[in-house]
Amino acid sequence: MTKINKSLALMAGVAGLAMSAVTATAEMSYPALAPLGEPPIPLDNKMSDAKVELGKILFWDPRIGGDASTACVTCHEPDQGWAFGDSLSRGYPGTVHWRNSQSVINSAYLGQLFWAGSAASLEKQAPSAAKGAVAGNGENDVMETRMAFIPEYVKRFNDVFGTENPLIGDAWAAIAAFERTLIVNDTPVDKYLAGDTSALTEEQVAGMELFNGKAGCIQCHNGAQATDENYYNLGVPPAERWEDDGLAQVTFRYELYAKGVSQDMYRKLKDDPGLYFRTKEPEHMGKFRTPPLRYTLYTAPYMHNGSFWDLREVVEFYNAGGGENDFTDGTMAATKSELIKPLGLSDEEIDQLVAFLEGFSGEELRVEPPVLPPYEALASE
């Protein structure tokens, strides 16, 4: 079952890629930054207060997972930018993850989830998070059965979905609906772009000009979401933990094994090949999805493996013309984006750009944690 789902998602993913490639090469002007607006709501998963509330409880509930220890919120902590504040995310107990935990804020706008875009919707993303061996490590039938022993879930699922007992697919739909409420679209940048010229400082406005001009950020971070949802290799260096942390080395090899690369690649790879996992095309090695920039003030560290600890480090990285990894120097491939080159920004300009990036974040979004409903014995037959 799992495998079939994965290959369908893969096909959908590839089709999506081909389309975005066409628009990207069509011409040299880029969609301007714009106020974010409201997220798209899929027709087959309409929003309702009851569904969102249910999704919220599930997001906090570690019983949606293997050993009932690791909920979505464990790696997407509201006080860590709804992400996890370490280079590589914490993993399921006994493991460490191999990528940086992404914020779930504004994930509702994205057409391709995860650093390498392997999930095509939030509804499809949630199960792979809950089931992956280094994330939730849960099993559908177990998670579904657990919910049947939580009377409050039985009632809530019945109210929202009309089923006699909770179905695991509906749990993913409810979680997705909750995530569609984790929206930050009123940042200073949004207000400015909507016409409120007082929303940004002069320094930030200067930074925006650099973003759109000399620094060339707009080439990829464009449109209302500040991402073209395309894939690039910037030369982000490989995670340091892979070199000196046994637990991280275990997960690194596990991912190569689990994602199904060739024996030869399994032996040779020492860096995360990103998009390559999905397409197995050598020219996709080391490429990751352009992330949206809103809320990044709260989501350090940055990049797919958390290489950088603050936004200034990120901008300095770009200013130096990006970096080197196993897919830039020809060791495994040479796919570094030609758009990434030394920018010649002065210290002052760097400050301006950082100030502008900070304007993409606004207030922190906090919610009242839900109370988890208890298990109860089923009435006898």
Counts of helices then strands in the chain (DSSP H, E): 15, 2
Give the H/E segment covering residue 289.
strand 288-289
Could you tell me which stretch among 39-47, 69-77, 180-188, 370-378 binds ligand HEC (CB under 6 A)?
69-77
Which is nearer to ligand HEC, 199 or 314 (by Cβ)? 314
Which is nearer to ligand HEC, 83 or 379 (by Cβ)? 83
Distance, CA of 187 to CA of 356 (rounded, Å): 11
Could you tell me which stretch among 46-54, 81-89, 224-232, 370-378 binds another protein (CB under 8 A)?
370-378
Q: Which of 56, 70, 239, 284 binds ligand HEC (CB under 6 A)?
A: 70
Distance, CA of 16 to CA of 9 (rounded, Å): 10
| 296-355 positions binding another protein, by CB under 8 A | none
Is 314 among the residues that bind ligand HEC (CB under 6 A)?
yes
Instruction: Give the nearest distance from C-beta 324 to ligand HEC in angstroms.
Output: 12
Q: Which of 14, 19, 247, 339 binds ligand HEC (CB under 6 A)?
A: 339
Termini Cα distance of the chain = 32
Give the H/E segment covering residue 155.
helix 151-161
Instruction: Give the nearest distance from C-beta 66 to another protein in angstroms.
Output: 5
Q: Which of 149, 152, 237, 334 binds another protein (CB under 8 A)?
A: 149
Q: And the tokens for 90?
A: 């914490």
Which is nearer to another protein, 36 or 71 (by Cβ)? 71
Picked from ligand HEC, another protein, none, the partner binding residue 250 (CB below 5 to 8 A depending on kind) is another protein
What single letter denotes the amino acid at residue 126? A
Contact in structure between 324 and 372 (CB atoms under 8 Å): no
Distance, CA of 83 to CA of 291 (rounded, Å): 14
Taking alpha carbons only, the member of 231, 227, 229 closest to residue 218 is: 227
Is 139 among the residues that bind another protein (CB under 8 A)?
yes
| DSSP-derived 3-state class of residue 338 | coil
Instruction: Give the nearest distance from C-beta 378 to another protein in angstroms.
Output: 6
Picked from another protein, ligand HEC, none, the partner binding residue 148 (CB below 5 to 8 A depending on kind) is another protein
| Beta strand segments in 4-150, E | none
